């Protein structure tokens, strides 16, 4: 029995040291995202590395002693300090108070409905209940998600997709007439997305929807971000709205560079939207941990409300943003 207890003690202490070491190495590697797109892929998982550091600190404080404790706690402190520093600006921005609704408001829904949506009826009911002015939908041309968009046609008669075809990934649906519209695929297939200028009583404005690639392989997402900045450069910065599934988190260096390049204010702050529900046959997510669905808007818009929608048939949670002009 004494031998078993001794082995168990070694195992727990070794686990604490391993968590602390791995967490510190990964956290420091994240800092390399400032100059390396490959290392920046690790930065997206900063909340996970933070949890490693916290777990190592708690476990180390309980089961280790002497020099061993100092090493474990020092490594855990490095992890927490680096990851906390990366996340702090975003968390601070999320604490800002929204504006009061004055004058005309605009309600929009940003939602990757997922090509393999396993509950399209519930998804459709929720979207209709929002009574939004504009919908930005990604993966809405999949075998399970196409009927969602098809049945929204009466409520949202104006629409545009990446290339105007049924099989395209990203769509904008609007209650307001589109005086101009175009899919990004009509100018080349480097970026899934579309734009439309809407005729609105308070004045015309342009909305843009897009869907980025994953952070790996490195470089593709960053190229898409640069292309998006080029695509919207001619639109009025004060009234333009950009939304989409960017597959990029706010503590990454890639999204920080994009925030500056677009010249718009990101209105979604630390709002985790992925993963959600049964996102694979083998795994379900108890709650989302990564904010990868974002909404930007020009300075003519004030943020009234930003909400995360419920678990539906998608691996993403929807994002609902209300703006006032």
**Cβ contact 244:193 at 8 Å:** yes
Q: Which domain holds residue 37?
A: 2-94
| Domain match, 241 and 281 both | yes
320-325 average pLDDT score: 96
Distance CA 98, CA 77 (A): 34
Same domain, 165 and 81: no
The 3-state DSSP class for residue 55 equals helix
Number of structural domains, the chain? 2
Residue pair 212/234 in contact (Cβ under 8 Å)? The answer is no
Residue 90 and residue 233 share a domain: no
Look at 17-26, 28-37, 148-157, 279-288 and tell me which has the smallest mean pLDDT: 279-288
pLDDT at 3 over 80: no
pLDDT at 11 over 90: no
The answer, yes or no, to whether residue 75 has pLDDT greater than 90, is yes
Name the pairing type of β-strands 171-174 and 105-112.
unpaired
DSSP structure class, residue 273:
-
Domain closes at, from 44, 63, 94: 94
Q: Judge if 82 and 231 occupy the same domain.
A: no
Is 172 in the same domain as 28?
no
pTM of the model: 0.94
Record the tokens describing residue 186, joined without a space. 């009509």
Is pLDDT larger for residue 144 or for residue 214?
214
Domain annotation covers residue 147: yes
Specify the CATH number for the domain of residue 270.
3.60.10.10
- Examine the domain organization and report whether 164 and 296 are in the same domain: yes
Q: How far is CA 113 from the centre of its chain?
A: 14
291 shares a domain with 253: yes
Of residues 148 and 225, the one with the higher pLDDT is 225
111 belongs to a structural domain: yes
In tens, the pLDDT along 132-145 reads 999 999 998 887 78
Task: Judge whether residue 82 has pLDDT over 60.
Answer: yes
Look at residue 130 and tell me if it is in a domain: yes
| Per-residue pLDDT reduced to its tens digit, 121-131 | 999 999 999 99
User: Considering the chain, what percentage of its residues have pLDDT values greater than 90?
Assistant: 78
Q: Which residues pair with 243 in a beta bridge?
A: 209, 295
* Order of strands across the sheet that contains 134-138: 158-161, 171-174, 134-138, 105-112, 319-324, 302-308
**N- to C-terminal Cα separation, the chain:** 72
For residue 172, the surrounding DSSP H or E stretch is strand 171-174
294 in a domain, yes or no? yes
What CA–CA distance (Å, rounded) separates 88 from 251? 9
Are residues 155 and 48 part of one domain?
Answer: no
Q: Is residue 269 one of the residues assigned to a domain?
A: yes
* Other beta carbons within 10 Å of 101: 13
Q: Residue 296: is its pLDDT beyond 90?
A: yes
Buried b / exposed e along 30-56 (16+ C-beta atoms within 10 A): bbebeeebebbbbbbbbbebbbbbbbb
Residues 171 and 320 in one domain: yes
Tracing tokens 């404005």 back to the chain, one arrives at 205
Same domain, residue pair 113 and 214: yes
Q: In this structure, is residue 100 part of a structural domain?
A: no
Domain end marker among 75, 94, 113: 94
d(CA 322, CA 308): 12
pLDDT of residue 71: 94
Domain boundary among 69, 94, 119: 94
Could you tell me if residue 99 is inside a domain? no
Question: What pLDDT does 188 receive?
Answer: 85
119 and 206 belong to one structural domain: yes
Judgement on whether residues 87 and 110 belong to the same structural domain of the protein: no
Residue 232 falls within a domain, yes or no?
yes
């Amino acid at each position: 029995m004494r031998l078993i207890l001794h082995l168990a003690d070694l195992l727990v202490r070794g686990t604490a040291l391993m968590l602390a070491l791995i967490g510190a190495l990964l956290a420091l590697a994240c800092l390399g995202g400032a100059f390396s797109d490959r290392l920046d892929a690790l930065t997206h998982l900063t909340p996970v590395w933070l949890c490693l550091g916290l777990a190592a600190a708690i476990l180390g404080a309980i089961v280790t002693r002497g020099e061993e404790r100092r090493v474990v706690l020092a490594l855990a402190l490095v992890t927490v300090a680096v990851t906390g520093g990366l996340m702090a600006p975003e968390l601070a921005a999320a604490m800002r108070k929204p504006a009061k609704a004055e004058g005309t408001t605009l309600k929009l829904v940003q939602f990757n409905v997922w090509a393999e949506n396993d509950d399209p009826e519930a998804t459709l009911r929720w979207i209709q209940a929002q009574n939004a002015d504009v919908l930005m939908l990604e993966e809405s041309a999949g075998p399970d998600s196409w009927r969602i968009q098809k049945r929204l046609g009466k409520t949202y008669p104006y629409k545009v997709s990446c290339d105007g075809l049924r099989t395209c990934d990203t769509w904008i649906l609007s209650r307001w007439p589109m005086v101009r519209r175009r899919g990004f695929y009509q100018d080349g297939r480097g970026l899934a997305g579309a734009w439309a200028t809407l005729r609105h009583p308070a004045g015309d404005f342009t909305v843009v929807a897009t869907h980025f690639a994953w952070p790996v392989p490195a470089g593709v997402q960053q190229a898409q971000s640069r292309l998006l900045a080029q695509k919207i450069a001619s639109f009025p910065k004060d009234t333009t709205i950009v939304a989409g599934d960017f597959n990029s988190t706010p503590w990454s260096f890639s999204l920080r560079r994009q925030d500056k390049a677009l010249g718009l204010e990101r209105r979604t702050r630390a709002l985790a939207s992925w993963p959600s529900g049964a996102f694979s046959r083998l795994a379900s997510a108890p709650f989302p941990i990564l904010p990868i669905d974002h909404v930007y808007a020009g300075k003519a818009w004030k943020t009234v409300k930003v909400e995360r929608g419920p678990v539906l048939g998608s691996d993403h949670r929807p994002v609902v943003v209300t703006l006032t002009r």
